[in-house]
């Protein structure tokens, strides 16, 4: 959104020509920015609380850099997901503050503005070490949104005593994201131990009959523990967004 457009709306509210509620609607629906190859939704944060994210696959390096430059003007943290070191090297030339998490495959360009951390802690748990890349995608996304994140890795049901050693950590969490491949049983186990939202993320990790995560997905959807929320296979990003929205609503209600 151009600053002059925002200013016109604010001036109309100040003069009494525009009702504040109608002004909010206008701010939520102002035009996007058309770059030809992409249409940047600058108002996604205002409408949904989640800024637009750059999904790297299928985009050229130059397109990614241009999108990052445009999004950074909004003053929000910029995330580039499913990316690699080659793209990071180009981004780093434009943004010295950018960081790259190789496990998560995420480039993070932090906002220039310092903000207070959001209330609530998100706990990310994996069944195995092989699930860490998807878990890190969730953790980094949540951290970029300003939430405190704690991690517990490799505590799957093959050695359930490992999970039970972290009951205190689970009790302290506001939302738990459970990342698991194979048969995906860990989500049901965790949900049976806590009284907070559990978001299950099936991963494509497993042997032949796991069907690249389909077995874990179906297992989580059929969880005997009520209330488990399931996102798509390997979708750590989506799990973090869901956790963030849950926490934001919860804190607003309080």
How many Cα atoms sit within 13 Å of 108 on the Cβ side? 20
pLDDT confidence of 15, banded at 50, 70, 90? Answer: confident
- Find the mean pLDDT for residues 35-41: 81
pLDDT bracket for residue 115 (50, 70, 90) = low
Calculate the CA dihedral of residues 156, 216, 175, 52 and round it to 10 degrees: 130
- The pLDDT score that the predictor gives to residue 32 is 73
* 73-77, 169-173, 228-232: range with lowest mean pLDDT: 73-77
State yes or no: pLDDT of 113 exceeds 90.
Answer: no
Taking the C-alpha atoms of residue 193 and residue 191, their distance in angstroms, rounded to an integer, is 5
Task: Give Cβ neighbours of residue 96 (< 8 Å, ≥ 6 apart).
Answer: none
Is the pLDDT score of 73 beyond 70?
Answer: yes
Question: β-strand 229-230 against 78-81: which pairing, if any?
Answer: unpaired
User: What pLDDT is recorded for position 1?
Assistant: 47
**171-175 average pLDDT score:** 94
- pTM of the entire predicted model: 0.82
Q: Which architecture, in CATH terms, is 121-253?
A: 3-Layer(aba) Sandwich (3.40)
The pLDDT value given to residue 253:
55
CATH no. for 32-114: 3.30.110
Q: Is the pLDDT confidence value at 43 over 60?
A: yes
Of 1-15, 53-67, 104-118, least confident by mean pLDDT is 1-15
Question: In degrees rounded to 5, what are phi and psi of residue 148?
Answer: -75, 135
The arithmetic mean of pLDDT across residues 217-229, rounded, is: 93
203/125 Cα distance (integer angstroms)? 13
| Range(s) of the chain covered by CATH 3.40.50.1970 | 121-253
Own/partner pairs, 36-45, CB within 8 angstroms, 24+ separation? 37/63, 38/63, 38/67, 40/67, 40/70, 40/71, 42/1, 42/74, 43/1, 45/74, 45/76
Rounded CA-CA distance 198/200 in Å is: 6
Q: What phi-psi label fits residue 229: left (phi over 0), alpha (psi between -120 and 50 degrees) or beta?
A: beta
Report the pLDDT averaged over residues 119-128.
93
Distance between CA 65 and CA 176 in Å, rounded?
Answer: 33
Better pLDDT: 143 or 115: 143
Q: Where in the chain is the domain with CATH 3.30.110?
A: 32-114
* The CA-based dihedral angle spanning residues 247, 75, 231, 216, taken in that order and rounded to the nearest 10 degrees: -110
Percent of the chain at pLDDT exceeding 70: 87
Res 2: pLDDT: 46
């Amino acid at each position: 959104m151009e600053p002059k457009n925002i200013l016109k709306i604010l001036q109309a509210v100040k003069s009494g020509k525009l009702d504040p509620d109608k002004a909010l609607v206008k701010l939520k629906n102002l035009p996007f920015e058309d770059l030809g190859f992409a249409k940047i939704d600058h108002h996604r944060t205002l409408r949904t609380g989640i800024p637009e994210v750059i999904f790297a696959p299928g985009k050229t390096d130059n397109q990614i850099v241009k999108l990052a430059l445009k999004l950074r003007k909004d003053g929000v943290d910029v995330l580039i997901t499913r990316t690699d070191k080659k793209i990071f090297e180009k981004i780093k030339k434009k943004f010295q503050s950018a960081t790259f998490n190789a496990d998560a495959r995420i480039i993070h360009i932090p906002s220039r503005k310092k903000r207070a951390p959001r209330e609530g802690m998100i706990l990310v748990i994996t069944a195995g070490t092989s699930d860490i890349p998807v878990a890190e995608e969730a953790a980094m996304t949540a951290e970029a949104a300003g939430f405190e994140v704690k991690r517990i890795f490799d505590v799957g049901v093959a050695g359930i005593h490992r999970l039970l050693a972290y009951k205190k950590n689970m009790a302290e969490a506001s939302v738990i994201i459970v990342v698991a491949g194979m048969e995906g049983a860990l989500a049901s186990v965790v949900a049976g131990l806590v009284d907070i939202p559990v978001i299950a993320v099936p991963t494509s990790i497993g042997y032949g009959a796991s069907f690249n995560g389909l077995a874990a997905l179906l297992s989580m959807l059929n969880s005997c523990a009520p209330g488990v929320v399931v996102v798509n296979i390997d979708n750590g990003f989506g799990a973090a967004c869901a956790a963030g929205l849950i926490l934001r609503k919860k804190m607003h209600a309080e």
